Amino acid sequence: MTTPTDPFPRPGWITLRSRRPAVSFRLDRRAMTIIPLLLVALLLALIISTSQGEYDIPMLDVMRAAVGLETGNPNHALVVRDFRLPRILVALLIGAALGVSGGIIQGVTRNDLADPGLLGVNAGAGVLVVGYLTLVAAPDTTLLPWLALAGGLGAAAIIYGLTRRGGSSPVRLILLGVGLASLGAALINYFITRLEVDSAQRAFVWLTGSVYGSTWADVRLLLVWAGLLIPAAMLMSRQLNAMALGDAAAVGLGVRVEPYRAVLLAAAAGLAAITVTAAGTIAFVGLVAPHLARRLVGPAHEALLPAAALTGSLLLVVADLAARTVIAPTELPIGVTTALIGAPFFAWLLYKRGK
């Protein structure tokens, strides 16, 4: 079909077709170069980050220790495998989950300034966790992740339920999300004013987001959820692409907009909620990662979602490294370093849009 004089441009994808069985697949051209590059960058960041810390371990030894080989220093295995890797992998998985969550929300709302916070996940989780710390005399901290999960998903359900009345239009979702987020923030502030200093500090660290003390159990939890929800969302890329054209156009193309929007938002809320459960509320990654991904691979969600997962991972691994090393031996909460990177980017974004 393609001849040298073909007046049509090469599409942004490579087609794989077979006659029997009659199947065809598209592979995004830009994604095919960018995603391997991001994977390499992520692997490098992972190794560098693991080698840095209270004392540095040569990178070669990091890799040896990670796969269980002897390095000549018995401490290496302990430090790499028990202390550093779990928290770095938690950061990586949280970044991926938030990146995809943000990518979905920006797609569904057709607003590239939307982020997972719009679903009320952070507000809901925060209110329950801080409320629990405030109102219960002897709080059981092992309950906090589950309270976060319940609060996050509960708030998302409330927002979606309120949005649905009269059709879940993206604008209503955004307005309700912003409204509920500030309501949550007010409640959280109120609770904190009533907390003892020690508990208030713990609440603050949780609210800022921290991967300190993450364990392999956290890694497994995130891996299971992200492993389910991210591929599930990616299977709906074509519907997301159609929804980007507006609800009416999407219906015209044959997309069942309401059910798909509900399922996609549920996936986004689940991804965000599980990150809050593991590390508290980490801001900006869900906003910034899909943006960077869009710059790199364009607007098609088949490429955008995996790229957002990887840019989110990369951002959080770097933010975690910064959190551990910038003012070592004291450690910053990872939410502080992501905000330090994310906030200026957000401002730049608004500035560019304004022009």
Interactions with other proteins, residue window 139-168 (CB under 8 A): 166
252 contacts: CB under 8 Å, gap ≥ 6: none
Q: Any residues with CB less than 8 A from the CB of 286 and at least 6 apart, and which?
A: 98, 99, 101, 102, 105, 115, 116, 117, 272, 312
254 binds other proteins per the rule CB under 8 A: yes
Select the span of 196-204, 277-285, 294-302, 325-333 touching other proteins (CB under 8 A). 294-302
Closest to other proteins by CB, 67 vs 165, is 165
User: At closest approach, how far in Å is the CB of 349 from other proteins?
Assistant: 13
- Cβ within 8 Å of residue 240, ≥6 positions away: 104, 107, 108, 264, 301
299 binds other proteins (CB under 8 A): yes
CA nearest 246: which of 108, 105, 100? 108
**Residue 1 is a binding residue for other proteins (CB under 8 A):** yes
- Asked if residue 12 binds other proteins (CB under 8 A), the reply is yes
Output 139 or 298, the one with its CB closest to other proteins: 298
> CB burial class (10 A; 0-12, 13-18, 19+) of residue 112?
middle
256 counts as binding other proteins under rule CB under 8 A: yes
* Residues in the chain, total: 355
Contacts 24+ apart (CB under 8 A), 348-354: 349/113, 349/291, 350/113
Q: Which of 3, 23, 142, 351 forms a contact with other proteins (CB under 8 A)? A: 23
Residues in the interface with other proteins (CB under 8 A) total 35
Quick one: which of 298, 331, 340, 345 contacts other proteins (CB under 8 A)? Answer: 298
Eight-class DSSP state of 11: P
C-beta of residue 326 within 8 angstroms of C-beta of residue 52: no
Query: Of 58 and 252, which has the nearer Cβ to other proteins?
Result: 252
210-239 footprint of other proteins as x/- string (CB under 8 A): -------------------------x--x-
Q: How far is the CB of 253 from other proteins (least distance, A)?
A: 4
Return d(Cα 273, Cα 119) in angstroms, integer: 10
* Per-position x/- string for 78-117, each x denoting binding to other proteins as judged by CB under 8 A, each - no binding: --------------------------------x-------
Short-list 29, 38, 95, CA closest to 285: 95
Task: Name the E strands within the chain.
Answer: 13-18, 23-28
Taking the least distance from each CB to other proteins, the nearer of 4 and 68 is 4
Site for other proteins contains 4 (CB under 8 A): no
Task: Determine how many CB atoms are found less than 10 A away from the CB of residue 97.
Answer: 31
**Footprint on this chain of other proteins (rule: CB under 8 A):** 1, 7-9, 11-13, 15, 17, 22-26, 110, 166, 235, 238, 241-242, 244-246, 248-249, 251-256, 294, 298-300
